[in-house]
Every structure is written in structure tokens, then in C-alpha cells.
Amino acid sequence: MKKRICPECGEEYTGRSDKKFCSSPCRAGHHNRKNAEDNSFQRSINNILKHNRNVLAELNPDGKANVRKDRLIDRGFKFRYFTNQYRTKNDTLYHFCYDYGYRVEKADSDWVFLIKRQEYVE
């Protein structure tokens, strides 16, 4: 059998012709590192979305609340990141981070209206 070099650890090994790694830990380590690199951007976006959702949940324990934008910003809320939008029949636009949403009253307003998604909002 032909000796090959493991791309993960550099050790020489022998085995089947389609075997690429010397051991299961080397194979798993290679793929885990590759996936971590490939998914790092997605992971960072998901972390921002989860953080935004947690901020909204913290400031909105009763399901509806008016808060100042500054309170959201001070807690690290990023307005550019949300999971979806919902426009009501009255043409009011809500941005959602999973099950918690918000509506900016006006572009120059200091107030944000927070809501928790209801079953009828889809």
C-alpha cells in the first residue's frame, strides 16, 4: 500500500485508497475547523440577532412598551439587524427580531414602540 501524508497532522499513514486522514480525530478536526471558518460570518450575524431579541425582551416584559432609542442603543441594540418585517393594514411597518418587534414612530423620533409577536401577526 502507498504511504500518504495526513493533511491535518502531517503524519504518514497507510490505508484504503480513498482514505484522506490518518484517524477520525484528524478528519473531525479538519472538518470542524473548515466549517468554523465557513460559518463565522453567519454565526456573528446570528449572535447580533439573538442579542437584539434579548434586549427587546428585557425592555418589553408586558408585551407592549414605549422606550427611548437611547435605551436600546445603550444596551448594544443594532437597528440594521432584524429577522423580518411586517406591514399592517394601516401601513405601519414593524421590524422583528424573532418574536419581538419594534416600530420607530418617525425617523427623527427619540421613541420606539416595542411589541411581542401575537398569533394573528404573520
CA distances from 57 to 12, 37, 94, 121 (A): 54, 31, 15, 17
Average per-residue pLDDT for the chain: 92
Render pLDDT for 80-99 as a digit per residue (tens, 0 to 9).
Answer: 999 999 999 999 999 999 99
Which contiguous run of DSSP H or E holds residue 103? strand 100-104
Please tell me the predicted confidence (pLDDT) of residue 37: 82
Residue count of the chain: 122
Quick check: pTM over 0.85? no
CA distances from 50 to 4, 23, 44, 61, 99 (A): 45, 37, 10, 17, 11
Render pLDDT for 28-68 as a digit per residue (tens, 0 to 9).
Answer: 999 999 888 888 899 999 999 999 999 999 999 999 999 99
